[in-house]
Amino acid sequence: MPRFRHYSMLAILTLIVVRDAASQSSPPPLTEQYRAIADRLIDAATGDSAAWHKLARLTDRFGPRLSGSKALEDAIDWILAEMKKEGLENVRGEPVMVPHWVRGDESAELTAPRPQPLPILGLGHSVGTPEGGIEAEVLVVKSFDDLATRGAEARGKIVLFNVPFVAYGATVRYRTEGASAAARAGAVAALVRSVTPHSLSTPHTGRLLYDSAAPRIPAAAVTVEDAMLLARMQERGEKPRLRLRMGARMLPDARSRNVVAEIRGSEHPDEIVVMGGHIDSWDVGQGAMDDGGGCVVAWEALRLMKRLGLRPRRTIRVVMWTNEENGMRGAAAYRDTHRAAVDRHVLAIESDNGVFKPAGFAFTGSDAARARIAEVASLLARIEADSAAPGGGGADIAPLMELGVPGMSPIVDGSRYFWYHHSAADTMDKLDPNDMARVTAALAVMTYIVADMAERLPRAAGR
């Protein structure tokens, strides 16, 4: 017992010495400085379902928001007006010219061995079929390798890539590159099994990329169910045939805007913490998860600071990028418009993984910066969002990150993301008000503190 008491005294003395040294060389820990503010932001965000209801007003009223559509521009007008009403600063739409692809009427029908309508979604940027449609035998392949092996059979056929979902990055190649691969083998059209691990007869769209060296053939997604059906028919030697009609076409580029709103910094207004999502969506469902939700949580985080009268030392800027889904023109335009200020971007955050239950943040930047981020995240333990992992980013902030801006994204429960992604099932009912409130709280706390802390978030050496 005397030994224990002795050690204990020593430990306390040591602590005092260490702490004293720390207080001389740097300010008190972020957690001490900001705990009260973090708690106020968390309480405000989680005290009601405002984020969910705002997203419902937006997506119920305007529906899906494909680049070039009136719905997208009407939604942007409404958002800008609401932001102004809320007293946010420097609210503006920054012009961006975007691709304008339209789906038109489309249908597919099995014609042999028996007639059956097949739900499809044409792939974004696909050409249409000739007026009367295309009818041809189907060749089902399992992979690009399988197509290469069976190349001679593809001529004049509709090639279906029946590739099960493994991971998005691996499987989506068939959606993006399948049409041109099939065209090079002489196919007249291409179909892809929808990129999802779970289907209730639900097709999922997304963009294709035509290889300029291959003929442009029409391409659409079929359901997982129908891809498997056609594969079984082929295995039995039943030679399924299909009629495909697609009125898809590309119109001239259209005007759109990146939505911008700020709270200007009190000391370093030219230094910017930017956060947001993309306001465009595919043309089915409501674009609620992908990515109306990502836009609204950032917007709500800023509104809460305004409501609580919080003005950080640096500027916090919300951006809703346009045209993420089929062009990334908004991301490129933001970088170009703000090129001179890129070095004064302290941190860029994108929320585009669905506003599901958050666990923290993923961060790409220097180790020193990640240590600060981890400190801030520890203030989110109350809402179980205190992880700080490596690897954050997003399509719209990638151009900034390439120029050295640290990038970040919320870590969320992604288990159901691809069930809904790019489909008619991306609707409000898939999102939970409590989850959205927590993501809002996490973004508010993270951006406020990074924008307000005495020292700027360190960049990697030389960036």
Which of residues 40 and 416 has its CB atom nearest to its own copies in the complex?
416
Q: Which of 178, 420, 442, 445 binds its own copies (CB under 8 A)?
A: 420
Q: Least distance from C-beta 290 to its own copies, angstroms? A: 14
Which of the residues 286 through 315 are near its own copies (CB under 8 A)? 286
Residues 6 or more apart whose CB falls under 8 angstroms from that of 416 comprise 354, 356, 430
Residue 239 binding its own copies, by CB under 8 A: no
Beta pairing class for 120-122 and 219-222: antiparallel
Sign of CA dihedral 448, 449, 454, 455: negative
Which of residues 39 and 432 has its CB atom nearest to its own copies in the complex?
432
- How far apart are alpha carbons 201 and 41 in whole angstroms? 42
Q: Which helix (H) or strand (E) holds 190?
A: strand 189-193
Q: What is the DSSP letter of 42?
A: H
Residue 425 binding its own copies, by CB under 8 A: yes
Candidates 17-25, 212-220, 233-241, 433-441 — which segment interacts with its own copies by CB under 8 A?
233-241
Task: Convert residues 262-291 into a mask of x (bound to its own copies by CB under 8 A) and - (unbound).
Answer: -----------------------xx-----
What residues act catalytically?
A: 324
Instruction: Give me the sheet containing 345-350, strands edge to edge.
Output: 89-102, 249-263, 314-321, 268-278, 345-350, 407-412, 358-364, 387-390
What beta strand segments (E) does 67-148 contain?
89-102, 106-112, 116-118, 120-122, 134-141
Q: Least distance from C-beta 51 to its own copies, angstroms? A: 15
Residue 143 binding its own copies, by CB under 8 A: no
Q: Which of 62, 210, 361, 363 binds its own copies (CB under 8 A)?
A: 62
Which of residues 246 and 305 has its CB atom nearest to its own copies in the complex?
246
Q: Least distance from C-beta 66 to its own copies, angstroms? A: 13
Residue 433 binding its own copies, by CB under 8 A: no
Residue 260 binding its own copies, by CB under 8 A: no
Residue 121 binding its own copies, by CB under 8 A: no
Q: Which of 172, 229, 310, 380 binds its own copies (CB under 8 A)?
A: 229
Q: Least distance from C-beta 140 to its own copies, angstroms? A: 13
Residue 57 binding its own copies, by CB under 8 A: yes
Residue 232 binding its own copies, by CB under 8 A: yes
Q: Identify the CA nearest to 215 among candidates 178, 177, 183, 191.
A: 183
Candidates 183-191, 194-202, 264-272, 439-447 — which segment interacts with its own copies by CB under 8 A?
194-202
Residues 6 or more apart whose CB falls under 8 angstroms from that of 282 comprise 64, 66, 124, 205, 206, 290, 325, 422, 426
Residue 376 and residue 30 in contact, taking contact as beta carbons nearer than 8 Å: yes
Which of residues 363 and 420 has its CB atom nearest to its own copies in the complex?
420
Residue 358 and residue 435 in contact, taking contact as beta carbons nearer than 8 Å: yes
Q: φ, ψ for residue 346 (rounded to 5)? A: -75, -35
Residue 119 binding its own copies, by CB under 8 A: yes
Which of the residues 400 through 419 are near its own copies (CB under 8 A)? 419
Q: Least distance from C-beta 226 to its own copies, angstroms? A: 8
- How far apart are alpha carbons 450 and 435 in whole angstroms? 23
Beta pairing class for 358-364 and 314-321: unpaired
Residue 428 binding its own copies, by CB under 8 A: yes
Q: Which of 2, 114, 132, 152 binds its own copies (CB under 8 A)?
A: 114
Residues 6 or more apart whose CB falls under 8 angstroms from that of 237 comprise none
Q: Least distance from C-beta 250 to its own copies, angstroms? A: 22
Which of residues 85 and 114 has its CB atom nearest to its own copies in the complex?
114
Residue 60 binding its own copies, by CB under 8 A: yes
Which of residues 258 and 286 has its CB atom nearest to its own copies in the complex?
286
Per-residue burial over 259-276, b if 16 or more Cβ lie within 10 Å, else e, is bbbbbbbeebeebbbbbb
Residue 233 binding its own copies, by CB under 8 A: yes
Residue 346 and residue 340 in contact, taking contact as beta carbons nearer than 8 Å: no
Residue 52 binding its own copies, by CB under 8 A: no
Q: What share of the chain is helix, strand, coil (3-state, %, to 5)?
A: 40, 25, 35
Residue 14 binding its own copies, by CB under 8 A: no
Residue 424 binding its own copies, by CB under 8 A: yes
Q: Least distance from C-beta 291 to its own copies, angstroms? A: 18
Task: Convert residues 206-225 into a mask of x (bound to its own copies by CB under 8 A) and - (unbound).
Answer: ------------------xx
Q: φ, ψ for residue 432 (rounded to 5)? A: -105, 130
- How far apart are alpha carbons 143 and 149 in whole angstroms? 10
Residue 309: strand, helix, or coil = coil
Number of residues that bind its own copies (CB under 8 A): 34
Q: Identify the CA nearest to 316 among candidates 364, 264, 367, 368.
A: 264
Would you tell me which residues interact with its own copies (CB under 8 A)? 56-57, 60-63, 71, 113-114, 116, 119, 198-202, 224-225, 228-229, 232-233, 236, 238, 285-286, 419-420, 423-425, 427-429
